[in-house]
Amino acid sequence: MLKKLLICPLAIGCIFTGTSAAFDVHSLNESMHTLSSKLKTTIISNQAKKQVKKDALVQNEVREIVSSIESVDDLFTARKVVIQYSNGNPADKLAANLLGKALKKKALFLGVNDAPSAPLIDLDGGFSMPTSNPTDFLRPEEFISIDVPSSEAVVYVDAKKYTDRVANFEATLDRHECDTLSKHINKKGDDTYNYYVSCKQFVVEELVHHFGGVVGNNFVVEMELKAGGWLTGKKMNYTFTPDAKDKEKSSFHFFKAVLERDPFGFLHNEKLADLREIGKVKDIAGKNTLILKNARVKMWVKAPGADRTQAVYFSEEKFGDLQMRGEK
């Protein structure tokens, strides 16, 4: 790669190195010199600095300079020139101020998280400056915050007909920085991958439209509760449908932290289901106690109206023998 040398036009002699790309350090210095000369004339004519900064000719000159910057390396080279001019006369300092602000905007466009691939070298040792972090171009108050509506959805990806569909779907999630809150693979018959995701609303809506599913975070929990022997035991089905206004009990965290860990206790204490159907009530120490032998449960978390094959979360737990006091 060819190197270009330039002796600075300022009193402080220094040599810059650059690359033979579209960005030309020599042209940058010439442009800065021209801009400084224009500003010097303007300052001599006693115009206010704020007016100078808004002057159309000056702004065009700055835009012309910045438009030639195409990479993070170019950005750092230009920043060195700005620092050099900031040590000059008043017109040079004003030129450096104008270009410095323009470089900050350019840094946002180029992506300031990228480190320069080819650090610049000072050939004569006369200008020693360590490589700066790209974030030096910005202060926290200069970042722009844009509120983008987010949403949650259940998405069904059919992998039986299209084997690469799952990979494409997950690549889309990564590209748009979506969060996978839950995932369940139905391996019985149709190889459906069921996802519960959170992402920008416009992305979520497109995913549901393309793959199928439902936008929203409303769920029901279908449970299959069993007790007794494997052959002679009894079972009952119960569907827990939380009130959407109850943020705690309708949350996915509640399903996993409460229902999954202690489904029998929750249903019994909340009097949501009569567990005597699968157990027996005995008198223990003068109190009626519900006995559940070999208690076990299967749980499917799914969108309202969906079947078990479309669950976004499934669990199967064994609890052994349980005793629940308070039965009448």
Please report, for the domain that includes residue 179, its CATH number.
3.30.70.260
List C-alpha distances in Å: 225 to 179, 240, 251, 273, 282.
32, 12, 22, 11, 20
Q: What are phi and psi of 15, to 5 degrees?
A: -120, 130
Distance CA 2, CA 222 (A): 69
The answer on 95 and 23 residing in a single domain is: yes
Mean pLDDT of 11-25: 40
The answer on 172 and 235 residing in a single domain is: no
**DSSP bridge partners of 163:** none
Cα-Cα end-to-end distance for the chain: 89
Answer whether 287's CB lies under 8 Å from 263's CB: no
Structural domains of the chain, count: 3
The answer on 93 and 126 residing in a single domain is: yes
The answer on 311 and 261 residing in a single domain is: yes
Distance CA 34, CA 26 (A): 12
The answer on 174 and 258 residing in a single domain is: no
Q: Is the pLDDT of residue 222 over 90?
A: yes
Of residues 134 and 260, which shows the higher confidence score?
260
Spatial neighbors of 236 by CB under 8 A, at least 6 apart, are 224, 225, 273, 275, 277, 278
The answer on 31 and 50 residing in a single domain is: yes
Residue 326: pLDDT band by 50, 70, 90 thresholds? low
What was the pLDDT predicted at 60? 72
Nearest residue to 90 (alpha-carbon basis) of 127, 41, 28: 41
The answer on 169 and 83 residing in a single domain is: no
Mean pLDDT of 185-190: 74
Answer whether 156's CB lies under 8 Å from 310's CB: yes
List C-alpha distances in Å: 96 to 39, 86, 100, 290.
11, 5, 6, 82
List C-alpha distances in Å: 253 to 23, 98, 134, 219.
54, 52, 40, 12
Distance CA 308, CA 189 (A): 13
Domain limit, last residue, from 200, 215, 230: 215
Q: Is the pLDDT of residue 6 over 70?
A: no
Cα atoms in the 13 Å half-sphere on the side-chain side of 268: 21
pLDDT digits (tens, 9 = 90+) for 308-317: 999 999 999 9
The answer on 135 and 30 residing in a single domain is: yes
Domain limit, last residue, from 83, 118, 142: 142
Tokens of 210: 């393309």
What was the pLDDT predicted at 111? 56
Tell how strand 3-7 and strand 15-19 pair up.
antiparallel
Q: CB count, 10 Å around CB of 178? A: 22
The answer on 184 and 263 residing in a single domain is: no
Distance CA 74, CA 84 (A): 16
Give pTM, 2 decimals. Answer: 0.55
Which value, to the nearest 10 degrees, does the dihedral of the CA atoms of residues 33, 131, 107, 199 take? 180
Domain coverage including residue 196? 150-215
The mean pLDDT value of the chain amounts to 74
What was the pLDDT predicted at 281? 87
Q: Which residue has the tokens 């992402």?
A: 199
Helices (H), the chain: 25-44, 49-54, 56-67, 72-85, 90-110, 165-175, 201-211, 252-254, 263-269
pLDDT digits (tens, 9 = 90+) for 244-274: 888 888 888 889 888 899 999 888 888 888 8
Q: CB count, 10 Å around CB of 219? A: 25
Domain limit, last residue, from 191, 215, 239: 215
The answer on 105 and 10 residing in a single domain is: yes
Distance CA 172, CA 294 (A): 44
The answer on 137 and 11 residing in a single domain is: yes
What was the pLDDT predicted at 113? 43
What is the DSSP code string of 75-129?
HHHHHHHHHHHTTS-HHHHHHHHHHHHHHHHHHHHH-TTSPPSS----SSSSS--
The answer on 91 and 166 residing in a single domain is: no
